Amino acid sequence: MSDNTQFKDKVVLVTGASSGIGKAAALEYARRGAIVVGAARGAAEELEALAKKEGLNISYLQADVSVEADVDHLVSTIVEKHGRLDIAFNNAGISGVHAPIVNAELKDWDRIIAVNLTSNFLLMRAETRQMLKQGSGAIVNTSSIGGLTGASNLAAYAASKSGLIGLSKVVAMEYARFGIRVNVVVPGYTITPMTDKTSTIISNFKEHSEEATPMHRGADPLEVAHLALWLSSDEASFVTGQVVAADGGYLLNGMPLVEKPEIL
């Protein structure tokens, strides 16, 4: 049983809260007592309906995280309404167009870098400005296994997620002494609308992803959200600048087992 007071009265921003990992995280923060502001590009009917049904403290704002004015407005609205920002889970992202680099288009590259990387520069700039005033704060950014290993046909995605790790480390270094922690969560194959969509584009994507994951399955979004929650919690008070995977063993780089080991 999780502690429903762990994040009591903490003001938490979750981006990408309308779907997948972000939705799971927004709900879980609120179930553990947080005042959650979810943000994403479109509507978030499911999140809002669940929050209402469970009586959770979640409000929702539409924002495009790649747009400077949207991001600044998002953070200033939270501070105006709640007086502070304790935790930010900067998780919104897109996988983008699948193409080898010889066929890749600059407009697609620009969009993916804007949504997955520039967004986090904008978000962390606004968030740290507020957290510096408070003298405390915890930020978690969502990268990807593709940001560590590369990902064929996804140059912009892999580059954006790799860049996000470098960016996160810089912000972690700059503000550690001011009580602000910054960490990165690295999801492996996770079953969300993003990967459901990829399955419609790449045949065998699900089977291949499961095979490449030593645990031989995709994550439930909550399994990734749990790691983000921990990294942002007081239990991780001495943890900053870290890149931590919830990937079912993918980054072990071992050959997947063909046979089950004999149990003696």
Ligand X SMILES: NC(=O)c1ccc[n+]([C@@H]2O[C@H](COP(=O)([O-])OP(=O)(O)OC[C@H]3O[C@@H](n4cnc5c(N)ncnc54)[C@H](O)[C@@H]3O)[C@@H](O)[C@H]2O)c1
Nearest CB to ligand X, comparing residues 39 and 56: 39
The residues in 139-158 that bind ligand X, with binding defined as CB under 6 A, are 142, 144
Given CA atoms 191, 194, 196, 200 in this order, what sign does their dihedral have? negative
* CB 21 within 8 Å of CB 192: yes
200 binds ligand X (CB under 6 A): no
> What is the three-class DSSP state of 218?
coil
Supply the DSSP symbol for 185: E
18 binds ligand X (CB under 6 A): yes
Kindly state the number of chain residues that form the binding site for ligand X, as judged by CB under 6 A: 28
CA distance 92 to 25: 12
**Candidate residues 118, 190, 213, 233; the one interacting with ligand X per rule CB under 6 A:** 190
183 binds ligand X (CB under 6 A): no
50 binds ligand X (CB under 6 A): no
The question of whether 189 is a catalytic residue gets the answer: no
Of 29, 157, 175, 250, the catalytic one is 157
Find the shortest distance in angstroms from Cβ 107 to ligand X. Answer: 15
Find the shortest distance in angstroms from Cβ 111 to ligand X. Answer: 9
Angstrom CA distances, 183 to 1, 83, 238, 263, stand at: 25, 24, 11, 38
120 binds ligand X (CB under 6 A): no
Number of Cβ within a 10 Å radius of residue 69: 10
Q: Which listed range, 60-68, 78-86, 122-130, 171-179, lies at the site for ligand X (CB under 6 A)?
A: 60-68
Find the shortest distance in angstroms from Cβ 179 to ligand X. Answer: 26
Find the shortest distance in angstroms from Cβ 135 to ligand X. Answer: 29
Tell me the DSSP string of 5-21.
Answer: TTTTT-EEEEETTTSHH
137 binds ligand X (CB under 6 A): no
- What radius of gyration, in Å, describes the C-alpha atoms of the chain? 18
CA distance 244 to 246: 7
Dihedral over alpha carbons 130, 132, 137, 138 (to 10 degrees): 90
CA distance 39 to 23: 10
Q: Which listed range, 10-18, 77-85, 234-242, 250-258, lies at the site for ligand X (CB under 6 A)?
A: 10-18
248 binds ligand X (CB under 6 A): no
60 binds ligand X (CB under 6 A): no
117 binds ligand X (CB under 6 A): no
Number of Cβ within a 10 Å radius of residue 247: 24
What is the contact mask toward ligand X in residues 96 to 115, using x (rule: CB under 6 A)? -------------------x
168 binds ligand X (CB under 6 A): no
159 binds ligand X (CB under 6 A): no
Angstrom CA distances, 119 to 65, 88, 115, 187, stand at: 5, 13, 5, 19
Enumerate the active-site residues: 157
Footprint of ligand X (CB under 6 A): 15-16, 18-22, 40-42, 63-66, 91-94, 115, 142, 144, 187, 189-190, 192-195
